[in-house]
Amino acid sequence: MGRYKFVVFTKPIEGREAEYNEWYDDQHVPDVLNVPGFVAAQRFRLASDQRMPGPLEWEYLAIYEIETDDLKESLAILA
């Protein structure tokens, strides 16, 4: 069985970060982990000290662990 990492960068709509985090943690991550092959998820917020000056396209990173013999199928179901 193959093991994979699926990396997702995101940025919430300005002024709606709390709503975004609640949705991501309480709905989206459980939904993704119900997709066959997706076995774990981690989320990170980039610390301001780690960033270059100026606006960035993303502020959050999610790393999903996938264990499957058919990665293409797992990603198709996710989509």
SS3 43: strand
Q: Which residue segment(s) compose the domain that 38 sits in?
A: 2-48+57-78
* Number of domains observed in the structure of the chain: 1
Task: Kindly give the pairing relationship between strand 2-10 and strand 38-45.
Answer: unpaired
| CATH code (residue 35) | 3.30.70.100
Per-residue pLDDT at 51: 66
- Supply the pLDDT for residue 25: 95
Question: What was the pLDDT predicted at 49?
Answer: 73
Question: What span, in angstroms and rounded, lies between the C-alpha atoms of 35 and 12?
Answer: 23
Tokens of 61: 């990173």
Could you read off the pLDDT of 27-73 as tens digits, one per residue?
A: 999 999 999 999 999 999 988 776 677 677 888 999 999 999 999 99
